Each structure stands twice: as structure tokens, then as C-alpha cells.
Chain A
Amino acid sequence: MQTMPPALEVNDLTVAYRDKPVLWDVDLQVPTGVLMAVVGPNGAGKTTLIKSVMGLMQAAAGSVQVFGEPAGRQQVRRIGYVPQRTSVDWDFPTSVRDVVAMGRYNRGGLWRRTDRRDAERVARALATVDMEDLADRQINELSGGQQQRVFLARALVQDADLYLMDEPFQGVDAVTEQSMVSVLRRLQEQGRTVLAVHHDLRTAPVYFDWVALLNVRLIASGPMAAAFSECNLQETFGGLAPAWANPPATTAA
């Protein structure tokens, strides 16, 4: 176990927007098989962290390794991605099933179309997120929570080892949130790794077992019980951390 490379290793990552650092010298290790929440205030660079790992943003400095290899085209199929739901135009003329199938588009070359095994995979993923009844629904008729589940299903059919999710519970009702969390748990049971931007400090310690506290710099990261401390939260949120965010680890002690 000790010799296994971490699912994700970020070294000295600095990302700037017009000479203003959005991420400053971030070193982060995400061990294989954990559910890690990325927590921090608005503008802390949480989305930027996810996007630079995916190669969607140019880093000013630093390196990213995925399962011990430099991030690049070879690793692409080992990473699944759930972008923010507001990042696309939901008025696009297509169905739920079609969007989920896009998770398989990068398998095979130019001439390959979606085959029966892909179709079965798509159906299974839709069942996993409780969307099978809406498979043929137009995507412009979906609620926010349903849109979020479509993106989760699309990531599931990517069959990845490391999942990067940008606010997967945004706009989701409480019941759906619980069922999505159980999907994440199942991914973990299968030995997969999840790194998710999460906004709700109350539920972060309940849903995730590891945490990264980010505010341009990485304040702390590690197992929830160790890193999600009042002191670290204060530093991350600049003394504005709400009282209810007191970590259960310290209140229990």
C-alpha cells in the first residue's frame, strides 16, 4: 500500500489570471480510494484547481501527476469529470440518454459509433442515478437536480479511476443529494478516488473522509478528523467560518 502512487499529486501549482494568482504554490496529494472534499470561500480557486488538473487551464508553474504519471493524453481515460452544471447551454437539442452517452465518445477512433455495450452502460448509469424514466427526455425540460444527475451519470460511464467533480450537489434537493452521496460511496467501494468541490461545511465531514482546505494557497489537507479543525477553518475562511461549521471531530472530543 505504501508504495502505491497517489491517485493525484499536485506539486507547486500556481495559476494566475492577469498576473493575479488564483492558486499559489499548491501541493496536494490525493491518495487512491478516498473521497476528498475541496472546501474554501468564493474565489479560493477550487474550480481552478479542478480545471488545471484536467488541463483546461494553463498553469503558470507546477506539475500534476495522475497515478504516478505526468498528466496528459495517456491518463485522460482514467479521469472522469463532472463540470458545473451551469457551464453548458441546456437548450441544446438532445436527450438525456445522448448526453450520458457522450461519456463514451472518446473510446475508439473516428469510425466508431455507440455500440450495444455502450448503450447498456448508459442505461445502467441512468438507473444508478434514478434517471431511467427520463432517459428520452429533452435536456431543456430537466430541473437543476436532474441536470446534475445527468452529469454524474455521464461521468459514471467514463468508467474512470479518479473522478473530479465541481460542486456535484449544487441545486440538488436533499433526497437526491443523499442518493448521489451513496453513488459516491459505491465508487469508493470499487476502489475509485473522488475529488469534489463542496460548499456545505455542515455536510462535508459527513459525506467525505478526506478534505483539502483551499484559499488560493492550500491551508491544509488530509483525513477529515485531522485537517477539518477549527483552527484550519478559521485560517481558510479568514475568521468568517460560521459557528455551525465546527467540526464534529473536535466537538466529539
Chain B
Amino acid sequence: MEAFLQFFNDYTLRNVLLGTAWIGVVSGSLGTFAFLRRQSLLGDVISHATLPGVVLAFLVWQRREIGVLMIGAAGTGLLATALIQVVDTRTNIKRDGAMGVALAVFFGIGVLLLSMIQNLPTASQAGLDKFIFGQAAALVQSDVTVLLAAGGVVLAALLLLWRELKIVTFDPDFARAAGFRVTVLEGGVVTLIVVATVMGLQTVGVILMSAMLIAPAAAARQWTDRLSIMVLVAALVGGTSGAAGAVVSAFGPQIPTGPVVVLVLTALVLVSLFLGRKRGLVWRWHRQRRSRKLADPDTVLGALGALEAAHAGTVRGHPKAVVRMAVGQSAQVGQALAALRQAGLADEHDGDWSLTERGRSEAGRRARDQGG
């Protein structure tokens, strides 16, 4: 217990915990819009494309404060989105192809630059390779301040432009027709995504940062049908996984933060997919079961009679699924069929259900009763 408390009083860990959780909150809420706009891949491209910017900024300014590196990262990140736009509109390559090209080119250049600076005489470049998978332990107080400020700007923009973002995400054509500056807003969203991505580079790393954007939204969608709640849940999921990743990786210097964060995220997404209140598999299955009424034996007897009449002389039995369709309303017929068998009115051979002699006359008698 004492070790546990000491752990939370630790200055480094407090920074790391706060910083990484905050990154999760910001990227989770913003990522909701990327997710709903079906731009999940864009986050991936942007985060990979920031790597050359990080190394270039270091080469130019010979410093490795997060603020300096963020400027370079944002530069190449935005450049990549511009490249996608140009390739998409000016060539016959489709948008997904353009994204693939941009990702490969920028990340390739980044890795190349990174291996080049490993041979520089100065030692200060050491640790830049941590940007690939992230190392939250490297966060210091001043980094956290920068992160809080950048994240604050992103969230403020999100709140201020809430209605604009909502209408542009749902129906961009209508938004444009209603006089919204859709191109400007879309550019704004991409810029915010770049900022959020760049925030997570040092702690989560360029490869896995896109998961921080998209996975919280994917989990949140399972719990709610309201955009505002979805953003809040995504922020919560992002923050929780960020914090968990920071704590676990702080236990050992060899544990990179990014992969831990992504593992926690994956677990939360899986739990949401199964248990999510709105669309989770368990609830959906439960609702389906409840809405399926139990068919009563009389109805099933009538349905079997009708099936036999329709297939007179050709097919004897009918599988359960066919009986269910004949009854209609996707009712559950299993218990009714069992009851009919017990009463000696129907029987089953190799999964096919048919009426017994007694069942046939009973079904015929009832049909006549109903007709008369």
C-alpha cells in the first residue's frame, strides 16, 4: 500500500499519468468525428507522416522539447493531407490509394532520416527513435504544460464549432447548401486531427497513435445513439486507456507506452462490442430473444397442416426453420413442436417435422371449423 501511494506521489509518474490521460481525452473526443466521417484511415496517414517532421525539426533547431518537435510534426502531417488532396483530385488514383501512397512515402522518409541521424556525432539525438512506439516516461513538466494548452485549444474549438461539425459530418452537401463554409470547416477538422495526433507522438508513438483517435469512438458508438454522449464516452475510454498505459509502462523502462495503451483500448473495444447498451451483441441478442414470441401449439399445428397441403404428395417433412417462417413473426416454434410431439400430433425424422395421422386429421378438423 505504501509503495502504491509513493507511486502516485512520484513527480515523474504524475506528469506521465496526467499527460497520457489528457492525450486520450483529446484524441478520443476529436476522433469521434473522424470515425463518423469514415476517415479512420486519415488518422493513420497523418500519424505516420509526422515522423519525418519530428526528425527535421530536431535537425533544424537541435532541440528536443515537445513544442519544437510538434511544429515539425504538424508541418509534415498537414503536407501529407495536402498530398492526398492533390493526388485525389488531379490524378486518376482514388482516395484510398492516395492515402496509401502518402503513408508509405512519408513514413519511409521518416525512418530514413531517423537512421541517418543515429550516426551524428552529438549524443542528443538519442531517444528520438522512441517516437516510433512512444515512451511516456520521457514526459516532463514543461511537456505536460504544452500538452494541456494544445489540448485545451482543440477541445475549445470542438465545443465552439459543435453545430458546424455536427452538420458537416452528417450531411456536408446540405451544410454547403445552407451556407456553411464546408471546405474551411473540413480543413479545420483535419488540422485539429493533426494537432491531436502530434500531441500523442512522444508518449504513444507514430505507429499506434491512430488507434488513440479511432478506437475510443468505435467503443463509444456501442453505448449510445447520441453524438454528445458518444464524444464524452470516447473521451473517457481514451483517457482511461492513456492512464493505464502510462502506469503499466512506468513499471519498467523497457515497456513502451503505445502498445500498452493499444492493448487496453482493444480490451475496452471488445467489452463494448459485447456489452454496449445500444448495439452490443449481448443486448441485441437479448432484445431479439425477448421480441421473439413463443408460438402456441395450435398455430404451429395449423402451419404444419398448411405446409403439407401446399406440398401434397411431394415433400413429407419440413425443417424447423421452414415451420418458423410458415408461422411468421420469427416466433419460437421449438417448444410448440415438442408439445405437439408429446401429444402425438407431430413427429420428427432427421430434423424434418411432419404431422402424424392423428395430427393430420386434427389439423384438417380445425381448418374446417375455422372455415365454417
| Chain B CB within 8 A of A169 CB | no
B178→A93 contact, CB < 8 A: no
Contact with B along A84-102 (1 / 0, CB 8 A): 0001110011110001001
The residues of A that contact B226 with a CB separation of less than 8 Å are 93-95
| Chain A CB within 8 A of B266 CB | no
A79, A87, A92, A158 — which one has the most chain B CB atoms within 10 A of its CB?
A92
| Chain A CB within 8 A of B7 CB | no
A102→B167 contact, CB < 8 A: yes
Knowing A93-B225, A110-B160, A138-B225, say if A83 contacts B178 (CB, 8 Å): no
The residues of A that contact B214 with a CB separation of less than 8 Å are none
Partner of A87, one of B163, B171, B178, B180: B171
CB of B275 to closest CB in A, whole Å: 18
B171→A83 contact, CB < 8 A: yes
- Which positions 219-267 of chain B face chain A at CB distance < 8 Å? 221, 224-227, 230
| Chain A CB within 8 A of B36 CB | yes
The residues of A that contact B230 with a CB separation of less than 8 Å are 93
CB of B255 to closest CB in A, whole Å: 36
| Chain B CB within 8 A of A183 CB | no
Chain A, residue nearest B182 (CB): A56
Give the B interface residue count (CB, 8 A): 25
| Chain A CB within 8 A of B169 CB | yes
| Chain B CB within 8 A of A77 CB | yes
Total A-B residue contacts, Cβ distance less than 8 Å: 73
Contact with B along A102-138 (1 / 0, CB 8 A): 1101100010010000000000000000000000001
A56→B179 contact, CB < 8 A: no
The residues of A that contact B164 with a CB separation of less than 8 Å are 105
A56→B177 contact, CB < 8 A: yes
- Which positions 3-17 of chain A face chain B at CB distance < 8 Å? none
Contact with A along B153-168 (1 / 0, CB 8 A): 0000000110110110
Partner of B170, one of A55, A76, A102, A138: A102
| Chain B CB within 8 A of A20 CB | no
| Chain B CB within 8 A of A241 CB | no
A interface with B by C-beta (< 8 Å):
51, 54-56, 73, 76-77, 79, 81, 83, 87-89, 92-95, 99, 102-103, 105-106, 110, 113, 138, 140, 154, 158
**Which 9 A-B pairs have CB atoms at the shortest separation, nearest pair first?**
A76-B179, A81-B177, A106-B178, A54-B177, A138-B225, A88-B171, A106-B179, A92-B170, A93-B225
